[in-house]
Amino acid sequence: MTGTAIAAIGLFAGTNVDDLLVLTVLFLTSRARGRPRPWQIWTGQYAGIATLVAVAAAAALGLTVVPDRWVHLLGLIPLALGLKGLVSAYRSRDTGDPPPTATGVLSVAALTVANGADNIAVYTPVFRTIGLAASLTTVAVFAALTATWCAAGSWLASHRAVVAAVSRWGHWLVPLVFVTIGIVIVVGG
């Protein structure tokens, strides 16, 4: 159980580093403009993460028809996403993309889903390979870490130097985590 929780922490942190930046920007926007309100950010974040996990869990259940000896090949999905992300990060260094904006619960949830759509490709093979008990533990850890991410985003919103550092290096970190997760799944199979 402890090993599963530690792995879930790494999985969540690795796939949601970019989300921490988005949350920080949303909390900065909330402080500057009054919208979205902090409770809307929290609620929208939970709704978005829940949607991503539900879709990944449903996809993992659908994959039960795949023979176990081939399941490790699902690790090629996050591996490919990570490699693609590294190439994209290299090609688009310092593009200066505008920060995301949202005004309420639904738009925060939609932003979370859009920003984390690639998480489905990472979570699906993980849920497919770890079993029901470990999946439930992982979901519980994700719920706790969503609160941690929201609190951290709010705190970071008061430290602009931190925002600048995350925005500078976050686009490299996320693809590297995907590559690592992909390799672990492929080799672990």
Pick from 5-14, 67-76, 137-146, 166-175 the range whose average pLDDT is largest: 137-146
Per-residue pLDDT band for 100 (boundaries 50, 70, 90) equals: very low
- Per-residue pLDDT, averaged over 32-45, amounts to 90
Residue 7 above 80 pLDDT?
A: yes
Residues 6+ apart with CB under 8 A from 147: 42
The length of the chain, given as a count of residues:
189
Structure tokens at 49: 């993460």
What is the DSSP code (8-state) at residue 158? Answer: T
Separation CA 85–CA 89 (nearest Å): 6
84 and 171 Cβ atoms separated by less than 8 Å:
no
Separation CA 78–CA 74 (nearest Å): 8
Q: Which amino acid is at 106?
A: L
Residue 79 above 80 pLDDT?
A: no
Task: Output 50 or 97, whichever has higher pLDDT.
Answer: 50
* pTM assigned to the model: 0.70
DSSP codes, 96-121 = -PPPP---SHHHHHHHHHHHHHHHHH
Separation CA 163–CA 84 (nearest Å): 24
Please give the C-alpha separations between residue 73 and each of 15, 96, 111, 185, 188, in angstroms, as whole numbers.
Answer: 19, 36, 30, 8, 10
Separation CA 55–CA 36 (nearest Å): 26
Using CB atoms within 10 A of its CB, is residue 106 exposed (0-12), middle (13-18) or buried (19+)?
middle
Please give the C-alpha separations between residue 90 and each of 15, 25, 84, 137, 144, in angstroms, as whole numbers.
Answer: 19, 23, 10, 36, 33
